[in-house]
Structure 1
Amino acid sequence: MTRPAIGGILFDKDGTLIDYQASWAPTNLGAGRLAARGDTELAARLLTIAGVDPATGYATSDGLLASGNTEDVAQAWAEAGAPFGVEDLTEQLDTLFRSAVVAAVPVCDLAALFAALTGRGLVLGIASSDSEAAVLATAERFGLEPHLAFQCGYDSGHGAKPGRGMVDGFCSVTGLPADAVAVVGDSSHDMHMAAAAGAGYRIAVLTGAGSAEVLRPLSHLLLPSIAGLEQVLFD
């Protein structure tokens, strides 16, 4: 396809800015233990339901823990026997996930990439299925705040992926039309969100749990990671 004129980029967080398996495998296992109150058998069952290998913590493509939001996970786990109410479990999981920011492994020098992209005149944002607090903490940790016009999570009031609301929110804040926005993500939820909103460019990356087989037909461009994004867009 002919690449459209892009004025802004809306990034997913985990699996896109952050190497998903390297960063989240231990946290996934911890989430299972938390939800099962230490019951090993129940934890294994809950993790399997959420698309996570209970031995390694690795997530499968588009499983609940890889692409869903915390409320989705809490609801599924409560229905499967986790000894919590959904609201309580959501709050405890969000706290756990936010604390995991300290162990997050970036896919590249994020601050340098974001500085380069804003230097090219692009407006940047982050839209995540994690909480807004976790998005803000991630941006602070990696020095991204000066380069961001928009940050949102599943609880920011824009709705959840794969709905279009996060892209609409980015467009509202930045004044960009959707067809001038590139959405970059690692899951089918990201690509479906972009398509639903009419985003001009859908860029998928392979640093998350999504596979090339799933992502290639849903995206305009498939990259190993965002490390080469500036070169792809401008060279």
Structure 2
Amino acid sequence: MAEIRGILFDKDGTLFDFHATWGAWAQGFLSDLSQGDAGRAQALGQAIGFDHSAGVFAPDSPVIAGTPGDIAAFLLPHLPGTSPDVLIAQMNRAAAAAPMKEAVPLAPMLDGLRGMGLALGVATNDAEAPARAHLAAAGVAGRFDFIAGSDSGHGAKPAPGQLLAFADAAGLAPASVLMIGDSRHDLTAGRAAGMGTVGVLTGPATARDLADLADAVLPDIGHLGAYLTARLR
């Protein structure tokens, strides 16, 4: 088993708790899109696998692992006269202001990993600007050596482009990197890049959903230090 020298994180559902962050945000965003029409907000929610009244995403919602463009494609048929570019820009502005709930206290966890000499990165299917805004708001953007979104020029997961770009930027062999994520998209990308994969349960997926693609499934990223230490024994 290769020595681990870098850790690449997904963002939503991994660094940040998915439901605690995005459920309330989606309710507000869809209410704004529907101009306060509750029936229309519910219909928009159904289009993206979101129960607007309950504030809960379905396990197969495109919001979980999709790009802003993917999500817009599901909403646009219900928003006649709205252009994709306008909707995506509106989504990105609103997403950048979302109050993020850390999956675990991020600063000490990341400092511990950096203290182990590990390069750290983020690869998200969110756009890069909101991702950087979220990490900055949490006070941890400077702890990452690499941050890429679906619009950063490396493609989107489950393709491995973002992951290979991190390995290249950090000067690491892909086999020496762990991809950490809460969805099958994350872990499929990790496998395609030739990286180790670790699933976490702070997103909608269950351990059973992730097990066949993960070297390990952890409750949350707070268990990474112990996992890495165990690998060294």
Which bracket does the TM-score occupy, shorter chain normalised? over 0.9
Count, aligned residues: 230
The alignment status of 1:173 with 2:183, answered yes or no, reads: no
Of 104, 110, 116, the residue aligned with 1:114 is: 110
Give distance in 2, aligned partners of 1:62 and 1:4. Answer: 33
What does residue 161 of structure 1 align with? Answer: 157
1:64-213 alignment to 2 at 5 Å? 64-81=62-79, 83-100=81-98, 103-199=99-195, 201-213=196-208
Distance in structure 1 (CA, Å) of the matches to 2:5 and 2:60: 28
Per the alignment, do residues 46 and 82 of structure 1 end up closer, same or farther by CA in structure 2, a change over 3 Å counting? farther
Task: Give the Å deviation of 1:83.
Answer: 4.7
Q: 1:7 maps to which residue?
A: 5
Q: State the distance in 2 between where 1:170 and 1:228 align.
A: 23
TM-score, L = length of structure 2 = 0.93
Q: Which runs of 5+ in 2 are unaligned?
A: none
Pair 1:220-2:215 in alignment: yes
CA distance in 2, matches of 1:83, 1:37: 15
1:32 is matched with 30
C-alpha distance after superposition, 1:90-114 (max 9, x if no partner): 00011110000xx211111111111
The amino acid that maps onto 2:67 is N
> Structure 2 vs 1, CA of residues 63 and 139 (structure 1 numbering), >3 Å: closer, same or farther?
same
Specify the code of the residue in structure 2 equivalent to 1:63. S
CA distance in 1: counterparts of 2:169 and 2:88, whole angstroms:
28
**CA distance 1:7–1:75, change in 2 (3 Å):** same
DSSP 3-state at the match of 2:56: coil
Which region of structure 1 is more displaced relative to structure 2, 35-44 or 55-64?
A: 35-44
Q: Which shifted more, 79-88 or 213-222? A: 79-88
In structure 2, C-alpha distance between the alignment counterparts of 1:88 and 1:40, rounded to whole Å: 22
Partners of 1:152 and 1:224 lie apart in 2 by: 25
* More divergent stretch after superposition (87-96 vs 3-12): 3-12
Letter in 2 for 1:95: R
Q: Which letter maps to 2:218?
A: L
- Distance in 1 of aligned mates of 2:44 and 2:208: 26
Cα distance in 2 between the residues matched to 1:95 and 1:76: 18
8 Å Cα contact 1:62-1:188 kept in structure 2: no
- In the TM superposition, residue 149 of structure 1 has moved relative to its aligned partner by 0.7
- Point out where structure 1 has 5 or more consecutive residues left out of the alignment: none
Between the aligned partners of 1:120 and 1:62, the Cα distance in structure 2 is 36
CA distance in 2, matches of 1:62, 1:17: 20
* 1:234 partner amino acid: T
Q: Could you tell me the TM-score, scaled by structure 1's length?
A: 0.92
